[in-house]
Amino acid sequence: MASFQKYTTKQGPMWLFKMDTGTNPETGKRQTTTRRGFKTKKEAQKAASTLELEISSGIWISTNNYTFDEVFNQWFTNHRKTIKASTQKTIQSKFKKHILPRFGKIKMKDVTKAYCQEMINEIAELIASVNDIKIQANQVFNYALKMDIISKNPMEHVSIPRKQREMISEDNDQTDRNYWRKDEIKNFLMITERELEFRDHVLFHLLIYTGARKGELLALTWDDINFGDGSIRLAKTLFQNEGGFVFQTPKTKESRRLISLDRNTLHLLKKWRTRQYEAILASGSNIVLNNVVFTRENGSPMRLAYLNEKLNIVIKKHQLHRITIHGLRHTHASLLFEAGASIKEVQERLGHTDIKMTMNIYTHVTDTLKEQTAEKFQRYIEL
């Protein structure tokens, strides 16, 4: 029989319940469990009823014996109902690659702070986004804390090792920069115009001139482009999962944005629209009834990896400075800063939720901008 109690937290009043769960097989003594964090008494009662059913049917396992893998499955079963399919896939990938191999078979009660720190240090040697791994693992430990499976969260005070290599090192070694300078951009676009399909040239042009994500561009429909006022609406993204394609809304409201287009970009889009319609008429089909701007020849959505592959081919063939598709987004931001755009303007154009994200990612300043800063200072002094 469960007992219920209301208690106060910084987030407001919450409910907990206590329940006798039977005899502990390891000690032979009676044991109880306390579960807290319920917003209403009704919610606590429902959870207590579920636990009573698990105990009576023999399904329930003593919380002392829960492994990380078992707690993860409980947490993710509930959590996946609140997130999009693309986010589910990303989270599952992080756990499968980095977290479950290191924590999965260990009993939750046996995970120590020292072990968590050791594992985070190990993962930091492999990937740059180790903080994301800590955040995901921390959610499982917090769930276990809420369910009284553990009394303290061993991941809470784990620190992230400092990065040994920055995007641009302090000694001005540019080999790791993930963006192109203005002359490199001009050369790249000359190559794509000369050697790639016109559709692909337009796509790379848009990546560079809008700073949009590739999933945003591959989800574009013609009604997203306003040729009258020269703007493009980025309000959805293409997600590929298990062989299928899904057009979904972005995670944040900031990602849904309207940005301006220059005349040259508008001209390229008009030219592409004409060529697309001509191809449809020539084939005698109606394959673009979905109104998608960029598709395969049969009218189906393009693979997300397609642009990555094309970029790598061009870079290798012409021995260009190596960057990633995301590096074209960095490039757009860098050139905006060179052109005199403010941090706030870049944030809004790229759809960053927090201005800190813009500042953290784009603190690198190109050599050209450094030279401009010196020239500005000199002109001011000489006035």
Average pLDDT rounded to a whole number, residues 111-137: 88
Average pLDDT over residues 284-304: 76
Q: How far from the centroid of its chain's Cα atoms is residue 260's Cα? A: 25
Tell me the C-alpha distance between 309 and 296, whole Å.
15
Q: Which residue has the higher pLDDT, 62 or 48?
A: 48
Helix (H, G, I), strand (E, B) or coil at 163: coil
Q: Is the pLDDT of residue 166 over 50?
A: no
Six-digit token string for 293: 């701007």
Q: What is the DSSP letter of 168?
A: S
Residue 268 pLDDT grade (very low, low, confident, very high; cuts 50, 70, 90): very high
Q: Using CA atoms, how far apart are residues 28 and 356, in angstroms rounded to an integer?
A: 54
Per-residue confidence (pLDDT) for residue 235, from 0 to 100: 85
Amino acid at 189: L
Q: Is the pLDDT of residue 312 over 50?
A: yes
Residues in the chain: 383
pLDDT value of position 171? 40
Going along the chain from its start, the domains and CATH numbers come out as 1-60 (3.30.160), 78-164 (1.10.150.130), 182-378 (1.10.443.10)
pTM: 0.59
Highest mean predicted confidence (pLDDT) among 103-117, 124-138, 179-193: 179-193
The average pLDDT across 287-296 equals 75
Tokens linked to 350: 């790229």
Summarised one tens digit per residue, pLDDT across range 181-232 is 889 999 999 999 999 999 999 999 999 999 898 989 999 999 999 999 999 9
Average pLDDT, the chain: 82
- Of the chain, the percentage scoring pLDDT greater than 70 comes to 80
Cβ atoms of 72 and 95 within 8 Å: the answer is yes
